[in-house]
Structure 1
Amino acid sequence: MVGTRTTSPAGGLSHRAWGRRSVDRIDHSDLAELVSDVGPAPLNVGVVVLLGAGATSDELVLALVDRLGRVPRLRQRLVTPPVVLGRPYWVDDDTFDPQAHLRHQVCAAGDTAAVLDVAATALTEPLPRTRPLWRVHVVSTPDGRPAALVLVAHHAVTDGVAGLWVLQRLLDGAGPADLPPADVLLPPRAPDLLLENGAALRRRIAGLPRALARLWQGGLELGPGPWFGTGAPRTSLNRPTGPRRRIAAVDVALAPLLAAAHRQGCSFNDLLLVATTSAMAQVLAARGEHPDRLVASVPVSGHPAALVDEPGNSVGAMLIPVPLTGATRDRVAAVARSTRARKVAARGSSSSLMVPAFRIAGRAGAFHWVTDRQRLLNTFVSNVRGPTGPLAVAGTPVLELVPIAATAGNVGVAFAALSAAGRLVVSVITDPDVAPETDELASRVGAELTAMADLAGA
């Protein structure tokens, strides 16, 4: 028998197994996030769910425990075997208790800025590797009303698209009770790990020529500068980051921006890239710096659909140089051309080729040194499309979804966008010691997006 998983009638742990036990290893994209987590702030991602009036704290906690406890990945922990036994793998945590992953906090001010301060602290708290890699902060007002939920997971667990699927398991009407009984992942035996790792190694060797060809193609399309570390200009926003983060967010209507993108013959992501880098350029100008371009790293989802049926990372990345001079229309057009040219190469992730180098650098203690000095990129810009209809949790209306994501190395400013229910929320995530202008950046992004929306009627 090639491999089996065992399932108990109630979806709990069952210790009957026969033949070889299946091995649910993290893939190369997940491993890249795991081995990259070497900086002073952990590589966590998440979302802030701002709530209206509705359920009590007790009712909300009951819903959280029931719904999140039904997602198989959230009941599993990572095991890192010796190198000869291959990549880390998931097993069920037989001591799993959803309540242990919930934290209760009172937000003194009770406003969005105060909640985002709570989220920034939650984002920078490491998640124990001995337990499932997630946590939910239930944030209440001083009078006890639930004000927000802050969901945080390690980036090795999920990317933005797959994380949205986890979020939907939390929302009313998502059908968490309809999930099939959970497959149980028992700890595999060493001989099974050796056999499975040997087969995987043979597949990687067989695919090496193709991976090298894709890497070479990507290098040609990006140009020699970014691949060799000199493609992004030096700026004061690119200094080694520390353990602290600040988050600010701007909320704008989505429809005018989609109309502007259609009129320009570009994607909405192209508008977002120009708006965010323009905000950075204005802050840099106030510092006396005037680069002619900034380079943004943009994730390219490899998921086959807008939503997927399990967590995990399936993403490539492309580096997009964004010009900072010229008319807005011309800049948008230039970004659209770059995006179209590079998206195909980025979608074929070369992580299977790069992760071994990451692991070697990490073991040698050099990875953090390299990321603190890289000149590949100036910022990260991500965008995820969320649900379109009204949202609620345990009968409580969701007022806003605010994405939060890690920024690391010498990238002092990052942006995360999430569209849902006709609104677009763009989060600005900064190291306040590198970029104290967090609120100013958010304000300038909002102004740029408003100006972009005016393109629809021009």
Structure 2
Amino acid sequence: MKQLTGPDAMFLHMELEGFPMHIGGVSIYDQSTSPTGIVRFKDILAMFESRLDRSPIFRRKLVQVPFNLDQPYWVDDPDFDLEFHVRHIALPKPGDWRQLCIQVARLHARPLDRNRPLWEAYIIEGLNDLDGVPPGSFAMYLKVHHAAIDGASGVQFFGAFNDVSPEPQPGPPPAPWEPETTPGNGKLLLRAYLNNLRKPGQVLRMGRDLLSARKRVRQGLERGDFHELGEIPSTRFNRKLTPHRVVGATKFDMQAIRSIKDSVAGATVNDVMLSIISGALRKYLTAKGELPERTLVTGCPVNVREEEERDKEGNLVGMMTTALCTDIEDPLQRLREVHEQAVSAKAYMRAQGARMMVDFSETVPAGMQALLIQAAAMTGLAEKNLMMNTLITNVPGAPYQLYMCGAQLIDSFGIGPLAPGMGLFHTVNSTVMKNRGAITLAFLCCREVMPDPELYKQCIEESFAELQHASKPRGKKKPTRKRKAAAQR
């Protein structure tokens, strides 16, 4: 039995009707590389069963504390059924990219069953008409509740299914699993009483930390170490949302992204991806006649794990908010300004305290946390008091080629959740595909807000092309020679 932390439980409380709080991943595999050339569903089921001991997430479910007096607990599910969680479906013919995105969007829109372990995997066959994907390939869409993992711990969880060789060496057989006894209400209430005795001390410490953070921010502003963001404009992505979703993704060569990065002193790969998204948003909103004069702002989750917490489960993230500079037309100038804004945002987050969000969620009692989130959603507070226009998260992948049941991983991308007032989520995945570095940029949006995801994907690709062209070094123009006058005859 393990209690959820404040940040973990926050994602449970944030799960409202039409807003499931799970994160997902799509992996595409070429089964022709497997030893037999074919990967059967029973092979994948057997692989899952042999690796259930690699993470406790697989067989743990939630148990709530009576009257919501404390955060819930993870407990073993004595009725765990693997075949409920791993499912087999197929795309309709011809099995193209559009059909895959529609299927994944539908699956991602469905909430997980809270009476069971909070994850599901779908093996999707029939991928026969995707550019760059061999016919007969298959995909795996895996979703896990955000209460169980964040981006950093999710990489380890998703990695439980992959190997570094098409013929992995079999490990030792898993130990017999004996589910622990589910605790009764009396035990849960006693623990809640003892935990709540510590709350007054936590509130006092939090108050001191907030005062210190406020002082650091004031001093940093006076020194000019960073600046605060101005008013955040409202866009179509920040309106009232529906439960329906659209998904899209596009891939870039890693070396091309690095070449763009090198064109601006101090810029990072993340800065380049922010600039590509900025240009895409500018193009998309311009096409709709809705580009605001003020720049859009993005939130960027930041892993705040200390070295000793690197393998810790759950959520340990802070939030950096930075301007996307969508008010700048020139792509290279926009990249320079995005870099400067990101440097300022990082300094501001350090002054404020990178773990402030984590500490705050640990301090607020469970019942109050749930009431505050529900009240904000019911009153439309999230749409009226914007903290960001979109969210962009960076999820690093393995720096080497991966396989599942011998099938080579040839593409992958992640998908995040939406929340009231935040209807567009971007995920940046860096991976190695066919022994070549790649970055995949995926997005999730409300279908009513973005009825044309193909247009937004096109905007992303055009933004990249413009930035790549603008970043190419310009050689000095050679003086043209004057032509000699033709000799008179």
Same topology, TM > 0.5: yes
Change (3 A) 1:215 1:307: closer
Give the drift of 1:268.
1.5
* SS in structure 2 of the partner of residue 150 of structure 1: strand
Q: Give 1:5's aligned residue.
A: none
User: Which amino acid in 1 is paired with 2:268?
Assistant: S
Give the drift of 1:430.
1.4
**CA distance, structure 2, for counterparts of residue 323 and residue 202 of structure 1:** 42
Q: Give 1:418's aligned residue.
A: 429
Q: Give 1:331's aligned residue.
A: 334
% identity of equivalent residues: 23
User: Which amino acid in 2 is paired with 1:37?
Assistant: E
* 2:308 matches 1:340: no
**CA distance, structure 1, for counterparts of residue 82 and residue 156 of structure 2:** 18
User: Paired residue for 1:49, among 1, 24, 27?
Assistant: 27
Give the drift of 1:164.
1.0
Change (3 A) 1:329 1:200: farther
Q: Give 2:276's aligned residue.
A: 275
- After TM superposition, the structure 1 stretch with the greater mean CA deviation from structure 2, 432-441 or 391-400, is 432-441
Change (3 A) 1:397 1:368: farther
Q: Give 1:156's aligned residue.
A: 147
User: Paired residue for 1:122, among 107, 124, 146?
Assistant: 107
Contact 2:213/2:353, CA 8 A, preserved across alignment: no
Give the drift of 1:58.
1.8
Change (3 A) 1:61 1:155: same
* SS in structure 2 of the partner of residue 60 of structure 1: helix
- The within-5 A match list for 1:191-210 is 192-194=190-192, 196-198=194-196, 200-210=198-208
- The within-5 A match list for 1:12-27 is 24-27=2-5
**CA distance, structure 2, for counterparts of residue 58 and residue 34 of structure 1:** 33
**CA distance, structure 1, for counterparts of residue 181 and residue 200 of structure 2:** 25
- After TM superposition, the structure 1 stretch with the greater mean CA deviation from structure 2, 103-112 or 152-161, is 103-112
**CA distance, structure 2, for counterparts of residue 305 and residue 452 of structure 1:** 36
Give the drift of 1:350.
2.2
**CA distance, structure 1, for counterparts of residue 457 and residue 52 of structure 2:** 32
User: Paired residue for 2:461, among 443, 446, 456?
Assistant: 446
Q: Give 2:481's aligned residue.
A: none
* 2:372 matches 1:361: yes
- The within-5 A match list for 1:327-406 is 327-343=330-346, 344=350, 345=352, 347-353=354-360, 358-362=369-373, 364=375, 366=377, 369-406=380-417
Give the drift of 1:429.
1.2
User: Paired residue for 1:213, among 193, 211, 215?
Assistant: 211
**CA distance, structure 2, for counterparts of residue 442 and residue 179 of structure 1:** 45
**CA distance, structure 2, for counterparts of residue 112 and residue 158 of structure 1:** 28
Change (3 A) 1:240 1:177: farther
Give the drift of 1:238.
2.3
* 2:83 matches 1:99: yes
Give the drift of 1:396.
0.7
Contact 1:46/1:404, CA 8 A, preserved across alignment: yes
Q: Give 1:234's aligned residue.
A: 234
Q: Give 2:252's aligned residue.
A: 252
Q: Deviations over 1:163-196 (max 9, x none)?
A: 1111111101499957996896654423651364
TM-score (norm 2): 0.79
Q: Give 2:35's aligned residue.
A: none
* SS in structure 1 of the partner of residue 51 of structure 2: helix
Provide the alpha-carbon RMSD of the alignment: 3.1
Structure of larger gyration radius: 2
**CA distance, structure 2, for counterparts of residue 179 and residue 25 of structure 1:** 29
Contact 1:78/1:89, CA 8 A, preserved across alignment: yes
Gaps of 5+ in 2: 32-37, 129-134, 474-489
Aligned length in residues: 432
TM-score (norm 1): 0.84
- After TM superposition, the structure 1 stretch with the greater mean CA deviation from structure 2, 418-427 or 110-119, is 110-119
**CA distance, structure 1, for counterparts of residue 194 and residue 49 of structure 2:** 35
* 2:74 matches 1:74: no
Contact 1:274/1:332, CA 8 A, preserved across alignment: yes
